[in-house]
Amino acid sequence: MVEVFEGRQDEVCSFVEPASKDIIFVFSGAAERAGIPLGELHQYLRKYGANVVYLRDKSKLLYLNGLSSLKISNLGDLVGYLKELIPSGVERIHCIGSSGGGFAGLYAALKLGATSVILFGGVTDLTNESLLAEKRGVALLNRIINLESPYKLNLANLISPDCSIAKISLWYGEKNIVDARYAKNITLVPQVINHPVAGTDRHDITVPMRDEGLLESALDDHFEGLS
């Protein structure tokens, strides 16, 4: 298995494919994983031949405060930084977001003009009203409550049927009430495809997906045409 960050404390790690017309940005959750370890995810993604950039949420603030190691202090500036990382020959941008990283992943996709997004148990609403509705949200609110940020948004208000994103794939445990609610929050546009994984309430949904042989086919379907 590839060790994405190789023991370093970096918050960004890039794998460059000079001839590729695609780039994939991966936003990890607070556990600095995508459910499964990032190195394991890379074993799946590498076969698509795309540029891949991994981000780690070391501050555990959902990237609302940017990336401190790069002196990027907010999510908007982080998106600007990511735009600079896109090679000149790239024609299609894709974003993957896991757990809390789903919020930044979808936000970045909207602002970068991405072609596709795939979220695994992704957060889509950081308004106080939403977070106060359930126990896990309250714990999340307690982490970000003192953070002054204009990005504590409901992403449903930013998505429209005519946005650039052609495909928004949402994977979550069928029995996970919180993740299902976040998914249903943004289902009012035709680009969204819900994929509830039957019989599980796991938040780290890529783990049972991997164990059941579902993860590879899910990624293949989402990134159809990349190889």
The domains of the chain, with CATH numbers, are 12-222 (3.40.50.1820)
Contact 105, 25 (CB under 8 A): yes
pLDDT in tens, 51-93: 999 999 999 999 999 999 899 999 999 999 999 999 999 999 9
Mean pLDDT computed over 141-159? 90
Question: What's the confidence (pLDDT) of residue 134?
Answer: 83
Place 198 in a pLDDT band, splitting at 50, 70 and 90.
very high
CA 43 to chain centre: 17
| 7, pLDDT greater than 80 | no
- One-letter amino acid of 28: S
| 108, pLDDT greater than 90 | yes
Helix (H, G, I), strand (E, B) or coil at 219: helix
Place 3 in a pLDDT band, splitting at 50, 70 and 90.
low
Question: What's the confidence (pLDDT) of residue 211?
Answer: 97
The percent of residues above 90 in pLDDT, for the chain, comes to 79
Helix or strand run (H / E) with residue 210:
helix 206-211
pLDDT in tens, 202-225: 999 999 999 999 999 999 999 988
Place 6 in a pLDDT band, splitting at 50, 70 and 90.
low
The residues near 85 (Cβ < 8 Å, ≥ 6 apart) are 14, 23, 53
Kindly report the average pLDDT of the chain as a whole number: 93
| 188, pLDDT greater than 90 | no
Mean pLDDT computed over 147-159? 92
SS3 readout for 153-209: CEHHHCCCCCCCCCEEEEEEECCCHHHHHHHHCCCCCCCEEEEEECCCCCCCCHHHH
Contact 168, 192 (CB under 8 A): yes
pLDDT in tens, 110-135: 999 999 999 999 999 999 999 998 88
